[in-house]
Amino acid sequence: MKSFAKKYNLTYTAFGKSISDARGLSSGSLTLLDAFKDALEPAPITATKAAPYQLLSGTIKATYNVYRGLEGSGNVIVAPGMMTGNTGVC
């Protein structure tokens, strides 16, 4: 967004913080804000060394290996991430 604002000579403000340098006259403004004032905080970073994650990833690997008839623990790579929607509205 910063390069867009610079290209079109716009002042740029994101969530109350001025991002662009106001040099001379601008052609307009670009403002980003939380339209409904109810945005959720981002989910915390997954601790992949923690016991709950190790249990979950081990279960996924074991289930996949049994289903596919595979041996060993290096057949499946489990990466942290879960799509929950994060809308906050039911």
> Could you tell me if residue 68 is inside a domain?
yes
pLDDT over threshold 90, residue 36: no
pLDDT in tens, 44-77: 777 888 898 899 999 999 999 999 998 887 888 8
Domain that holds residue 15: 2-32
DSSP 68: H
The neighbouring-strand residues paired with 32 are 14
pLDDT band (50, 70, 90) for residue 42: confident
- The Cα 45–Cα 37 span in angstroms is 24
> Could you tell me if residue 83 is inside a domain?
no
> Could you tell me if residue 39 is inside a domain?
no
Contact 10, 27 (CB under 8 A): yes
Neighbours of 12 (CB within 10 A): 22
Nearest CA-CA partner of 45 in 89, 79, 15, 85: 79
pTM above 0.75, yes or no: no
Give the sheet arrangement for strand 17-18, strand by strand. Answer: 17-18, 10-14, 28-32
> Could you tell me if residue 38 is inside a domain?
no
> Could you tell me if residue 7 is inside a domain?
yes
pLDDT in tens, 16-35: 888 886 667 888 989 988 88
**Number of folded domains in the chain?**
2
